[in-house]
Every structure is written in structure tokens, then in C-alpha cells.
Amino acid sequence: KKDNFLFIDQAHLPHTQTLLGLKRLLELKIGLAPSLRLVLVGQQELKTRFQENRSPDLAPFIQRCDQYELLPMNFEQFSNYVHHCFQNVDGLDVFNRLFKDDGLKNCFVNMNKAGLPAYPLSINNYLNQLMVLITTKKDCPYTYFKAAFFDFVTHQEIFVN
């Protein structure tokens, strides 16, 4: 027997009636087994929305849900991931100049101070943009990449070099 899964990204966006309609799909069974399993992936707003006292209309749906939260990366995870991304685009020279000394640690600390925890999706979005710049503008001066990284991450300087 194979399970059928329906993945919904940006699940914090659908209207309440849409979610209640999905609940009805979940009630369909083949014998005693559910015919569909639902995975909702969303931003922090989804967690807030799924608090029963805030959404009484969704209570029947919420009661059938298991919730898991993807926590922000710790420094070691953040450091390994950033290094991995730069390595994959032959950007280790930019990495070493951008994050010399304690630059990466300062970046991580200052992101948290600025209220920007290192959630994997947000870090991935910033790094993807920077990786595109590194691969398409290899002849640009280092200061170009540094300015781009500052802009992508917080729109303010987060390094303390």
C-alpha cells in the first residue's frame, strides 16, 4: 500500500474555507486507511493561524494536524551551509575575503540582533542571489559582492569588521 501525499507550499495563505475543504478530502478513506495525507508548509503565520483559540472555524481541522517547526540554524549549521554554497560556485576566494577573521560569526550574531534569525529558507534566498552574482560577474571587484551581500541580508551593514 502506498500513501498519497498532497504538499501545499505557502499554506499560510489559503482562505479558511479552502482549508476546511481540504479537511473534507482528508476524511475520505479507503477501507480504514486515509486516502490522502496532507503536508502544509508555511511561514510563521501558519503556526499563529493554527492556534485553536485564534481560529475557532479551523478547530476541527487543527485538531487533526501534527505540527512541526523548522528552527533557525545554529552558527555551525549556518557556517557550513554558507561555506558549501560558496564552494559550489567556485567562490571560496570571495568567501574568504567577505568573511575574513570573525566576519561570518559577526554576520550571524548581527542578523539575530537585527531580528533576522537564520531560518534556512531566508538564508537560502539571500545566498542564491549572491551565488548568481558570483557566477555571472566573476570580474567584479570584491567590494561589489560585499555591498550586494549587505543589501541581500538586511539592507544595512551587519558585519563588524
pLDDT at 141: 66
What is the per-residue pLDDT across 84-123, written as a single tens digit (0 to 9) for each? 888 877 777 777 777 776 777 877 777 777 777 777 777 7
SS3 call for 67: coil
pLDDT at 158: 41
pLDDT at 155: 47
The DSSP string of 95-139 is HHHHTTTTHHHHHHHHHHHTT----HHHHHHHHHHHHHHHHH-TT
pLDDT at 147: 67
Which one is predicted more confidently, 7 or 107? 7
Q: What is the mean pLDDT of residues 145-149?
A: 66
Strand partners for 30:
33
What the block records as the C-alpha cell of 14 is 489559503
Amino acid 160 reads V
Segment among 59-73, 82-96, 128-142 with least mean pLDDT = 128-142
pLDDT at 145: 65
Q: What is the mean pLDDT of residues 35-41?
A: 86
Which one is predicted more confidently, 38 or 146? 38
Q: What is the mean pLDDT of residues 35-58?
A: 82
SS3 call for 56: helix
SS3 call for 29: strand
Segment among 4-8, 18-22, 84-88 with least mean pLDDT = 84-88
